[in-house]
Amino acid sequence: MRSLPSSISRSTHVSVNSDPFGSSVNQSYMTADFRLTTQKMIGPDKDTFLNEDNPFEDMMSRFDRAAELLDLEPGLYKILRSPEKQIIVSIPVLLDNGEIEVFTGYRVLHNTSRGPAKGGIRFDLNVTIDEVKALAAWMTWKCAVVDIPFGGSKGGVICDPSKLSNGELERLTRRYTAGIINTLGPDSDVPAPDVNTNERVMAWVMDTYSMHARHTVTAVVTGKPVEMGGSLGRREATGRGCMMVTRAALAHLGMPVAGATVAVQGFGNVGSVTADLLAKEGCRIVAIGDRGGAVYDAHGIDVTKAIAHAKKHKSLEGFEGGDRISNEELLTLDVDVLVPAALENVITRKNAPNIRARIICEGANGPTTAPADAILEEKGIFVIPDILANAGGVTVSYFEWVQDRGGYFWTEEVVNQRLGQIMERSFEAVLELSKRHKVNMRTAAYMLSISRVATVHRLRGIYA
Ligand code: NAD
């Protein structure tokens, strides 16, 4: 493994602990101003946090079921249940009005046995350490289910980016990156965009890391702008992967793709691209929704118009291409395919009995809680689990990392074709396992990924 220059750890240490303003200015912050800012410290928004169960334990209950079916050795069970590393950083940011706000950021590495940790960075008020731990473990299983040589990690900062100026967001991103810089690196931990982060944020992460490394390191993040080492097709990759596995599920169930009705919750990167590509395949997108509300049109929504509206207004609020419905109504529509592509814990034990979709394609991470799983299974709903359904993003992130390291870039056609091979191969592998063990697709996906990670642990042994 390539080690970082010693200047990195020195400067990280300095940037986290020292006073950037000099001692005299610091004195004033340590008195009146500092107390004011601590009162206003940002914390999780409990009113909107849809936490039916602890997300880490929720994820682990699926892991437990698969581990039991695999008859996993107790030692390996303990290893795979424990995240390798958890980092918590305080992130002081100078706001435009001259005040200082201190944000909390996390980075969790769940498992790196198969390769460098890979996982997005999320900026959201509802970020918690348990959520980040769950998301990091999901990344381990996701990379293993599509068989790419990465482990799993995730990061998050508790903040509301819509309330931050561009400059504040940049300073927050750079200081967070500096705080976790010792874990980052193309060979150790490679972030990517997630909720409320994008190519712009990845460019700042890459630049901050590169300034510390004293040379340009493109492969330290994926989901970057194409002009600076990003991959063609990365932005659409998660939605494209969702489209591909939905198409495969429809074929498996003997349902035609043309005319299949689809409802999509979440109209950001994943939801809007999934809706667009499924519409291009001939599906009828009858409902879409986001934080700004949902719309329904039985004849099909004009997805291109909806994307243009969402781009201009930053949400679907005010979009007139259908009748207004609530987000809850969207989830329980009588459709062939439901794509939850917003946040976790939206299909719970409360609304699962009312879900009428034939197929659920989990674009988001963890949209279905463990208790809801059992209800959906009883109803005979075919669930394409998150670790398979939305793995297109990390697959093309892997392609981006490979292209950066090789310094040779592929055409979009090659990217999409290779993505198709991996998504279709993985869908078939999970389906085959689910038939063989008579389990649902989620349990089969966990069994496949856990067995792959466990095999590497057995081969590598325990370093003592
Ligand atoms: P995004 O920020 O681009 O979009 C999120 C969307 O969800 C927005 O349209 C937002 O308005 C909507 N939303 C938020 N809260 C909502 C609510 N309560 N009800 C309805 N809609 C709501 O994020 P994204 O990148 O599209 O990610 C969405 C999900 O997909 C997340 O769970 C993320 O972890 C997962 N995911 C993303 C990628 C990726 O490549 N971007 C890859 C794998 C998984």
Over residues 138-164, the pLDDT tens digits come to 999 999 999 999 999 999 999 999 999
Final residue belonging to a domain, choices 195, 215, 232: 232
Length of the chain measured in residues: 464
Same domain? For 183 and 258 the reply is no
Tokens of 193: 């965009």
- For ligand 1, say whether the CB of 193 is within 6 Å of any of its atoms: yes
Same domain? For 198 and 287 the reply is no
Among 358, 368, 354, smallest CA distance to 261 is for 358
Q: Out of 125, 145, 238, 361, give the residue to mutate to test ligand 1, the one with the largest number of ligand atoms within 8 Å of its CB.
A: 238
Final residue belonging to a domain, choices 178, 210, 232: 232
Q: List, for residues 5-33, the tens digit of each pLDDT value.
A: 333 333 333 232 333 323 333 333 333 33
User: Could you tell me the pLDDT band of residue 53, with boundaries at 50, 70 and 90?
Assistant: low
Does residue 375 form part of some domain?
A: yes
The helix or strand, by DSSP H or E, that contains position 286, with its residue range, turns out to be strand 284-290
Distance of alpha carbon 275 from alpha carbon 342, whole angstroms:
13
Does residue 158 form part of some domain?
A: yes
> How many beta carbons lie within 10 A of that of residue 455, not counting itself?
14
Express the helix, strand and coil content of the chain in percent, nearest 5 each: 50, 15, 35
Distance of alpha carbon 155 from alpha carbon 192, whole angstroms:
9
Same domain? For 283 and 331 the reply is yes
Residue 154 annotated among the catalytic residues of the structure: yes
DSSP code of residue 5: P
Same domain? For 129 and 146 the reply is yes
Residue 126 in this model has a pLDDT that exceeds 80? yes
Does residue 312 form part of some domain?
A: yes
Final residue belonging to a domain, choices 168, 203, 232: 232
Does residue 71 form part of some domain?
A: no
Among 310, 355, 306, smallest CA distance to 328 is for 355
Domain ranges, residue 110: 6-23+84-232
Q: Is 349:369 a contact under the CB 8 Å cutoff? A: yes
The residue type found at 124 is D
CA 332 vs. chain centroid, Å, equals 24
Instruction: Output the domain CATH number for residue 137.
Output: 3.40.50.10860
Residues 324-341: what's their mean pLDDT? Answer: 97
What is the structure's pLDDT at 65? 92
Does residue 36 form part of some domain?
A: no
Among 326, 193, 325, 341, smallest CA distance to 274 is for 341
Does residue 441 form part of some domain?
A: no
Distance of alpha carbon 329 from alpha carbon 351, whole angstroms:
10
Sheet holding 293-296, edge to edge: 323-325, 293-296, 284-290, 261-265, 337-340, 359-361, 382-384
Cα 265 to averaged position of ligand 1 atoms, centre (Å): 9
DSSP code of residue 410: -
Cα 361 to averaged position of ligand 1 atoms, centre (Å): 14
Cα 292 to averaged position of ligand 1 atoms, centre (Å): 13
Same domain? For 382 and 253 the reply is yes
Instruction: Indicate which residue of 46, 154, 314, 350 is catalytic.
Output: 154
Same domain? For 272 and 376 the reply is yes
Same domain? For 12 and 151 the reply is yes
- For ligand 1, say whether the CB of 392 is within 6 Å of any of its atoms: no
Render 202-241 in DSSP notation, one character per residue.
HHHHHHHHHHHHTS--GGG-SS--GGGTPPTTHHHHHHHH
Q: List, for residues 96-120, the tens digit of each pLDDT value.
A: 999 999 999 999 999 999 999 999 9
Higher pLDDT, 171 or 41: 171
- For ligand 1, say whether the CB of 327 is within 6 Å of any of its atoms: yes
Same domain? For 131 and 182 the reply is yes
Q: Is 44:127 a contact under the CB 8 Å cutoff? A: yes
Same domain? For 240 and 369 the reply is yes
Does residue 186 form part of some domain?
A: yes
Q: List, for residues 180-224, the tens digit of each pLDDT value.
A: 999 999 999 999 998 899 999 999 999 999 999 999 999 999 999
Same domain? For 95 and 228 the reply is yes
Q: Count the domains in the chain.
A: 2
Does residue 410 form part of some domain?
A: no
Same domain? For 15 and 158 the reply is yes
Instruction: Output the domain CATH number for residue 297.
Output: 3.40.50.720
Same domain? For 203 and 251 the reply is no
How large is the angle between the packed helices 166-179 and 199-213, nearest 10 degrees?
Answer: 50
Q: What angle do CA 383, 387, 392 make, to 5 degrees?
A: 105
